[in-house]
Amino acid sequence: MARCIARNASLPPMSGRARRVGGVTAAFVGAVTLGLAMAPMAVGPILPPQSPVAVASPTARPAPSEEIPRPSHEQGVSGGRSAPPELLPLSEATAAELQAAVDRARATYGLDVLVVGVSVDATRGWSGGSGTAPDGRTRLTGDDPFAIASVTKTFTATVVLQLVEEGRLSLDDPVSDYLPDVAQVRGVTVRQLLSHTSGIADLLAPMRRALNADTRRLWTPAEVLTFIGPSVFAPGTDWGYSNTNFILLGMVVEAITGHPFGEELARRVLEPLELSEAGILATPDAPWLFSESWASAFWTAGGMYASADDLLRWGDALYGGWMLRSATLQAMLTFNADDYGLGAERYDVGGEVGYGHSGLLLGFTTLLMHLPGERVTISLVATDRSFTPTDLLAWRAPGQPSILDLALEAAAPTG
């Protein structure tokens, strides 16, 4: 069943999965990837400026209590509770202002396409796009699928943490208990994979040449691991962002459940939340957003796609407490000195504190961010220039409000 989210009335919604195999979206993603396939960009998170890749000690630093939501949906949708409600529209005036702010930001940052979604209290929302498909007429909307890069990690981490809640593994279990034949995981715990404190090297640099050499090849996780060299540091002694950590977590999920990760993801997340425009790339029913080699290699670390609308609903469900118990969510959102938790990043944006995850892969930039103090969730997907999405959200044209300003204004009490 199709879900609804309020949009600018001038942007007609596109419906159904047909967009994935033809029509405007197929033309759009084909044009984007054609320009990017010959010169892949760096892959990984867009981290806050104060967070270098591997410098600080991973000593845990709990986030202030007001930053952590106190959900009442203890068991989440996987435990039989209801999902977040469908979003009611924001006012027409607010929608018009948000659309204008998105248009200004896209033009200023020189982006081909920018799509933003805003949710308030997980009850009211809006999404709108700026930029057009190659036909020069059809504007993309919150329903159109984009590669979400490292925002994939929020899905992978949630599935792993649900297995922890079910007693099927522990955060401090040795990964070798589940992957005994994988040399890279010796001495590494599940928690260290989730928090990027394992020391395991990243897959990008050693695989880049192979991924470009045969763009139609589908890589298995085991094949990816053959490219991974010695660890960068001893487990638990430092912090270093590595996509390989989340490839290994996908393998752990499959080892424990006996099911392909995609099946577990669909059963636990996509189907209960009715995320009809989200899934794993390099599968038969997925949109072709870039080459199969890159999509399959990054798998549970960065190989998913989603629309801005589905990301918005996912953020409301995850950070609002529908997916994880309160104590588990607290663990996910306990950040180390590099502002990283268990599959979550901490952000300071426009004077507000938020958390979520960002991503950059082959020209697709993505952000999913929740501001707990204001009860606001924001999703952002864009092509094709590299930029810091939190900066874009807070950017103001002279005399004009930013996207963030308008989102906070929509959440402000009235009367």
CATH for 60-133+145-411, among 3.40.710.10, 3.50.50.60, 3.90.550.10, 3.20.20.70? 3.40.710.10
pLDDT recorded at residue 132: 76
Q: Which of 68, 84, 74 is nearest to 122 (CA)?
A: 84
- Do 139 and 130 contact (CB within 8 A), yes or no? yes
pLDDT recorded at residue 45: 34
Helix (H, G, I), strand (E, B) or coil at 308: helix
Average pLDDT, the chain: 84
Q: Which of 247, 241, 256 is nearest to 227 (CA)?
A: 247
DSSP result, 210-234: HHHH-TTPPPPHHHHHTT--S-SS-
| pLDDT tens digits along 326-346 | 999 999 999 999 999 999 999
345 bridge partner residues: 340, 356
Work out the pLDDT band at 134, boundaries 50, 70, 90. low
| pLDDT tens digits along 169-203 | 999 999 999 999 999 999 999 999 999 999 999 99
| pLDDT tens digits along 238-275 | 999 999 999 999 999 999 999 999 999 999 999 999 99
| pLDDT tens digits along 39-91 | 333 333 322 222 222 222 233 333 433 344 434 445 455 544 468 999 999 99
Question: Over 80: is that where the pLDDT of 9 sits?
Answer: no
Work out the pLDDT band at 6, boundaries 50, 70, 90. very low
Kindly list the domain boundaries of the chain, sorted by start residue: 60-133+145-411
Task: Report the pLDDT averaged over residues 394-410.
Answer: 98
What is each CA distance from 109 to 45, 113, 216, 328, in whole angstroms?
A: 19, 10, 32, 37
The torsion region of residue 87 among left (phi > 0), alpha (psi -120 to 50) and beta comes to beta
Question: Which percentage of the chain shows pLDDT scores above 70?
Answer: 79
pLDDT recorded at residue 171: 98
- Lookup result for tokens 């490839």: 247
340 bridge partner residues: 345
**Exposed/middle/buried for 202, CB within 10 Å: 0-12, 13-18, 19+?**
buried
Cα 224 from Cα 204, distance rounded (Å): 10
